[in-house]
Amino acid sequence: MATEGLTSTSYVRHHLQNLVYGELPEGYERADGSVLEQSTWTIAHSTQEAVDMGFWALNVDSMGWSIFLGLIFCYFFRKVAKNIDSGVPGKLQNVIEVLVEFVNTNVKETFHGKSNPVIASVALTLFCWIFLMNLMDLVPVDVLPFLAQKISGDPHFYFKVVPTTDPNITFGFSLTVFAMIIFYSVKVKGIGGFIGELTLQPFGKWMIPFNLLLEGVALLAKPVSLALRLFGNLYAGELIFMLIAMLGYYQLPLHFIWAVFHILIIVLQAFIFMMLTIVYLSMAHESH
């Protein structure tokens, strides 16, 4: 149910704002009218304050939920690994074995470079972690923010619960993959081979500037497309949940219908991110 006293526009803006921790300068006039006597690290009380905190501000909710869900992933996989039973496995072990086999099969079919045990581990981590973060989109949009407001005592407390609707998180994943692409490209092909791949393809040594432009754009497009595809799909899904929530008590049928459809998006986006990572790392391992 929409927060009482908010218009439709302010309701959506409130739910799309992260809980931001950052530094405000000396003499800054805050949303409540108070003026800071010295520069202070604090929680933003308005969207403008979050903007004015600048680049080094931290989205506490996105970071907190992503770490929490990552720990859940590690806990259950570690629990199964320590208590694995080859005789009569439990339900949790069956689920995790299916996940591991699913990822391993996709890696074997897609990765064509020299055998590298890191690839399957990275793919499994990405798929499960991103899936768990996407899954938070199925929690009714008002439930956890309402609890956070009650616990904090602040009726305007910002609290987003879907980390993948924050571009900082999705770019964090994609830039990590990009760093791995560069690392393995240099490791497998050498510095000369990697530079040659960027400057001598596809038109040979007489078109080096044009080759570098084409290959450079293609290389930089990989992390950008990875991050924005995941962010855009989950952000749009969350926004639709918010619009449905504004219907009040009449939201339940539509919420259920959209949630059922959104399950496909949640799984598909985690799968696409994993598969593209495998493909990009496979390309990084191929020498010409």
- The average confidence (pLDDT) of the chain is 89
pLDDT at 2 over 50: no
Q: 24-28, 84-88, 212-216, 271-275: which range is least confident on average?
A: 84-88
| pLDDT for residue 3 | 45
| pLDDT for residue 1 | 42
pLDDT tens per residue across span 199-225: 887 777 778 888 888 888 999 999 999
In the chain, the amino acid numbered 186 is V
Is 225 designated active site?
Answer: yes
| pLDDT for residue 5 | 54
Question: Residue 12's closest CA among 243, 197, 182, 170?
Answer: 243
Residue 189 DSSP class: H
Catalytic residue among 30, 46, 168, 229: 229
Is 78 designated active site?
Answer: no
Q: Which residues contact 237 (CB under 8 A, 6 or more apart)?
A: 137, 258, 262, 265
Question: Residue 279's closest CA among 113, 90, 165, 139?
Answer: 113
pLDDT tens per residue across span 82-120: 887 777 778 888 899 999 999 999 999 998 877 788 999
Q: Within 13 Å of residue 52, how many CA atoms lie on the same side as its CB?
A: 20
pLDDT at 238 over 60: yes
Beta strand residue intervals within 97-217, DSSP E: none
Q: Which range scores top for mean pLDDT: 34-43, 123-132, 258-267?
A: 123-132
pLDDT at 136 over 70: yes
What is the CA 253 to chain-centroid distance, rounded? Answer: 28
Is 233 designated active site?
Answer: yes
Burial of 59 (0-12, 13-18, 19+ CB in 10 A): buried
Catalytic residue among 94, 233, 282, 287: 233
Say what percent of the chain tops pLDDT 90.
53
Beta strand residue intervals within the chain, DSSP E: 20-24, 40-43, 58-59
- Identify whether the C-beta of residue 254 lies closer than 8 Å to the C-beta of residue 247: yes
pTM: 0.90
What residues form DSSP beta bridges with 37?
Answer: none
In the chain, the amino acid numbered 93 is Q
- Could you tell me the residue ranges of all domains in the chain? 60-285
Catalytic residue among 211, 225, 282, 287: 225
Say what percent of the chain tops pLDDT 70.
97
Question: Residue 233's closest CA among 276, 260, 272, 176?
Answer: 272
- Identify whether the C-beta of residue 97 lies closer than 8 Å to the C-beta of residue 89: yes
- The pair of three-digit structure tokens given for residue 282, joined into one six-digit string: 């496979």
Distance, CA of 230 to CA of 163 (rounded, Å): 11
Q: What average pLDDT score do residues 173-198 get?
A: 91
Question: Residue 157's closest CA among 19, 8, 23?
Answer: 19
| pLDDT for residue 153 | 84
| pLDDT for residue 46 | 87
pLDDT at 158 over 80: yes
pLDDT band, residue 77 (cuts 50/70/90): very high
